[in-house]
Amino acid sequence: MMKFIDELKKEELDGKKVILRADLDVPLRQLPTANHQSSTKIGDDFRIRAQKETLDYLVDAGAKILVVAHLGHEVSDKSFAPVVEEIGKILGQTLTLVPHAELASVDILFRGGQVLLLDNIRQDEREVQNDEGLAAELSNGFDYYVDDAFATAHRSHASIVAVTKHLPAYAGFLIKKETENLKQAMEAPTEGKILVLGGAKISTKLPVIKNFLDRAEKILIGGALANNFFKMQGINVGSSVIDDSVFLDVKSDKIILPRDFLAGNKNSVSGSASVYNRIMSVENDEAILDIGPETIKEWTEIIKHAKMVIWNGPMGYSEHKDFAVGTKVIAEAVAAAGYSIIGGGDTIAAVDKLGLLDKYSFVSTGGGSMLSFLAGEKLAGLEALSYYEN
C-alpha cells in the first residue's frame, strides 16, 4: 500500500535529509534583452506551482531537501542554471543549484541552505536506464525519499524506481491528488460520464478509448485523432495529420466523431478555411484544422448534461486564433460541467491562455502518465511506491 508524506510527522522529519523527486519540466522561452542578447524565462509555471504544497510541508517540518528533477526529454544537457532563481521565486524558497559533480558534497552545501536543487537529472545517462548505481549515489546519506512527480510516473527511471529500493519511500500531496481524482474518473458510474479526446497522438489515446468503452456514456473524438477514424471510413482527409503506424481496431456507437469541421491549407494558414461535413472529401492540399459549428453545438449540449467530463487534447490547430474556436468553446463547456478533469500539456496551455485554468475540478500535471493511468496500465513510479498493493 502506498504511503503518503503526511504519515511522516514533524518530529520524524526535523533535521532529516529528504530527496524530493519533483516535476520541474516546463517550457522555456528566450526573451530579448536591452543589449541584444537573450534571457531564458519559464514559459508556463503550472507544474512548478503544483510542487509547492509538498515542498512547504517538508520545509516547515525542518527537513533538509534535495530536489531532483529533469528538464527536457530523455538524456539532456539542459541545465536549470538560467532559471533556478525564477523556480525558487515560484516555490517561495531560495534554491542552491548542485552540479552533478558536487552531489557527494551535499552535507556541506546544506550548511548554506535548506533546499538544494540537483541539476537536470537527465544529464546523467544512467537516469533513463534505471541504473542501480545512480540510485545508490543519490540516496547515500539521505533518510527519506518523497516522489511528487506524477508526470514522470510512467517512466522506469533511476530517480523514480530504483531509488525506492534504497530509502523509505513516500508519495507527495500531488501524487495523492492525481491518483484519487483519476481513480474517480475510472470508477465513477458510466451514466453521465463523458470522455473528450483531441490532440494528435492516437497511439497514446487509443488504449484510453478502449478502456472507456464500458466506462463512459459517450466518447467525443476531435483534433487530429478524428482524422484516423475518418480515414478508416474511407473519407479523404487531404493533408491532415494521420498516424499510419496504428491499426484502428475499435468501433462503438459510444464514439462520437465531428459531424463537420474546418479545413484549409496548413502551409499557408491565413485564417481562411472551408466548412466541410464528414461525407465531403477534403482537398489534397488542405488539412482539417478545427471542429465545425454543428459539432460545437452538438458537443456543448452533450457536455452541458454530463455529470463528469474528462478532457485531454485540443480540438484542432488551436495555436492559430482562427482555428481555436472549437477548443475555446469546448474548454468553456467543460469548465461549466458538474465535475471536470483535464490534462495534457497542449490542453493546459490552451485553457491557461483563456484564463480558465482554475475553473476545472481537477487539472492533471500528467500528459502521458494521465493517459497511461486512464488506459488501465500500471505506472512504474506508482508501482515502486506500492500503489497497486492492497
Parallel/antiparallel/unpaired status of strands 308-312 and 193-197 = parallel
Q: Let me know: does 58 contact 146? Beta carbons within 8 Å.
A: yes
Q: Which of 193, 200, 236 is nearest to 374 (CA)?
A: 193
Amino acid identity at 52: K
Question: Which residue numbers belong to the known binding site for ATP?
Answer: 205, 319, 344-347
Handedness of CA 376, 380, 382, 384 (dihedral sign): positive
For residues 27 and 71, the answer to whether their CB atoms sit within 8 Å is no
The three cell numbers locating residue 202: 492516437
Strand order in the sheet with 218-221: 255-256, 218-221, 193-197, 308-312, 340-343, 362-363
Please enumerate, by residue number, every residue annotated as part of a binding site for substrate. Answer: 47, 122, 155
Residues 6+ apart with CB under 8 A from 22: 51, 54, 55, 67, 68, 69, 148, 149
Biggest distance spanned by C-alpha atoms of the chain: 69
Give the Cα separation of 53 and 107 in Å (integer). Answer: 25
Question: In this structure, is the dihedral angle defined by the CA atoms of residues 269, 274, 279 and 282, taken in order, positive or negative?
Answer: negative
Contacts of 297 (CB under 8 A, 6+ apart): none
Q: Count CB atoms within 10 A of the CB of residue 257.
A: 19
Helix (H/G/I), strand (E/B), else coil: 45: coil
CA dihedral 256, 214, 154, 335 (to 10 degrees): 50
Q: What gap in Å lies between CA 164 and CA 301, rounded to an integer?
A: 47
Q: Which DSSP letter does residue 4 get? A: B
Specify binding-site residues: 47, 122, 155, 205, 319, 344-347
Pairing of strands 260-264, 287-291: antiparallel
